Amino acid sequence: MWANLRIYLLLLALPSANFAYQVLHLADFHLDIEYSINGDNTKMCHDDGTKRNQTLGPFGDYMCDAPKPLIQHAIDESARLFPNPDLIIWTGDNVAHIEGYGWEVVLDAVNQTTSLLFSRFPNQIILPTFGNHDYCPSNGFESESSLYTKTWELWKGKLGDENKATFLKGGYYKYRLPNATAVVLNTNLYYSANKAYVNFTNKIDPADQFAFLETELANAEKCPNRVSENCTSLVHIIAHIAPGAFEKTPNITWFRDEYNEKFLNLTVRYANSIGWMIFGHHHTDTFHLIKDEKENVVQLALMSPAVTPWFSTLPGAGANNPTFRVYETDLYSKIEDIKTYYINLDELNKNASTPFVFEYSFKDAYGITGDITPNAVSDVLEKMKTNDSLFMTYINYNTAFWNPVMPVDEYKGAQLCSMEYADYPRYQTCLSKYEKSAHNDLKLPIFSLLAIFYSEFLL
């Protein structure tokens, strides 16, 4: 009888363990080909010819962007741990946080990272997109750029001819998965730091990307079965920059106000037709709930942490340990768990064989019993507001254990309010309820203006 029971339990346990659809996500490589162990880590670790007593680590430095060996190691390790993922999403930002470079630097960085990733996963579906730094100069995205024509040559084999028109028009496309349609967007067009805004011929809908998204969502809503020949009733949204605010610095938002509102209006309107919403850009591990007018939680945007450790000087920000993660889904819509892997950069620099290790399971860490749904995550957030131990768990993972410090005053507000409200009006009302830390009071507005102007400060 006991033997039978054990077999029965084993059978019960097997399907969920074996049949999860694995979505590997690699975010924010920021390859710096000028990284040098003889470099100055207050100057992006570039070698300026000065003789120094100490060399930097061969795999990178917390102050700087990723040298090639770090990116190679992250990709190799993701392939070691997940040799056969069902889907790979790669949300861009391949160029380092540098200024004054030419197109050859962008194309070389994209080509090198493409080669590393595609050669390691030759038979996998890979959905790439651009980050705001993958442009010359950074944050200059417009419609019909030579970037789209050149990278199309690198990526067309994975994306298929049917996507050529939208890709060349604005760097966006869709991809039919077994049970859903992935819509991969170039949200860099909506970034408030995007200098090309002045040149947009269609400021209401740059590159007609909102129309494209809305068409896909409306088709999904009308799709008679969950999956038909010509449609799916679910759309997954993938992009570099998410709607909402940066969680580490008070009142830093990404999209221009009108684009954030428009994006969220569409998300709320078609929330039932949207599966996952997955982004990068923050470099940190966080999420944004999306609420309708009546405060109902209708969607969830998940931000995957970065491979680059780069130290952001935005107030309250900083560095992070290198990471990648896997979303385990049920082949259709539900995210069953999110498993993040990381490496301690100091350990890796001491020992080149240091592996990436399991960091945490979202489900286990936050005590979620069912799937990772918007409502389940909202419940976790409500608990974080009053349970500092749970909030500290989140803070530890936020930077993959790089210098985790419990935030106070408006820095705590920035964290909690960014997670609760992706829309700016409610985010700002929420933030205004937190006390300002005296010493940052003056610095912040001036700094934000500078940061927007000198875009290398920005993520």
Binding site for ligand NAG (CB under 6 A): 53, 107-108, 111, 115, 140, 178-179, 195-196, 198-199, 219, 222, 224, 226-228, 230-231, 251, 258, 261-262, 265, 331-332, 351, 353-355, 387, 389-390, 393, 428, 431-432
Q: How far is the CB of 220 from ligand NAG (least distance, A)?
A: 8
Q: How far is the CB of 357 from ligand NAG (least distance, A)?
A: 9
Cβ proximity to ligand NAG, 91 vs 393, nearer residue: 393
Both tokens of residue 61? Answer: 């430095």
d(CA 309, CA 59): 10
Q: How many CA atoms lie within 13 A of 14 on its CB side?
A: 6
Cβ proximity to ligand NAG, 239 vs 252, nearer residue: 252
Closest CA to 393 of 413, 364, 427: 364
Length of the chain: 459
Cβ proximity to ligand NAG, 32 vs 216, nearer residue: 216
Q: What are 341's strand-pairing partners? A: 324, 358
Q: How far lies 443's CA from each of 249, 314, 315, 316, 449, in Å?
A: 12, 11, 9, 12, 10
d(CA 326, CA 82): 9
Closest CA to 66 of 92, 102, 34: 34
Cβ proximity to ligand NAG, 182 vs 310, nearer residue: 182
Q: How far is the CB of 235 from ligand NAG (least distance, A)?
A: 12
Q: How far is the CB of 3 from ligand NAG (least distance, A)?
A: 33
Q: How far is the CB of 25 from ligand NAG (least distance, A)?
A: 21
Q: How far is the CB of 253 from ligand NAG (least distance, A)?
A: 7
Cβ proximity to ligand NAG, 115 vs 296, nearer residue: 115
Cβ proximity to ligand NAG, 8 vs 103, nearer residue: 103
Q: How far lies 303's CA from each of 22, 125, 141, 178, 337, in Å?
A: 17, 21, 21, 24, 14
Cβ proximity to ligand NAG, 65 vs 216, nearer residue: 216
What per-residue string of b and e applies to 183-197 under the rule 16 or more CB within 10 Å gives b? bbbbbbbbbbbbbbb
* DSSP letter (8 states) at residue 133: T
Which residues 6+ apart lie within 8 Å of 224 measured at CB? none
Q: How far is the CB of 148 from ligand NAG (least distance, A)?
A: 15
Torsion angle of the four alpha carbons 373, 422, 175, 330, in this order, in degrees rounded to the nearest 10:
-10
d(CA 201, CA 318): 37
Q: How far is the CB of 320 from ligand NAG (least distance, A)?
A: 21
Residue identified by tokens 């985790």 is 404
Contact 83, 232 (CB under 8 A): no
Residue identified by tokens 């790089």 is 402
Cβ proximity to ligand NAG, 1 vs 294, nearer residue: 294
Cβ proximity to ligand NAG, 213 vs 310, nearer residue: 213
Cβ proximity to ligand NAG, 310 vs 378, nearer residue: 378
Cα-flanking dihedrals φ and ψ of residue 227, to 5°?
-135, 120
Q: How far is the CB of 7 from ligand NAG (least distance, A)?
A: 26
Q: How far is the CB of 138 from ligand NAG (least distance, A)?
A: 12
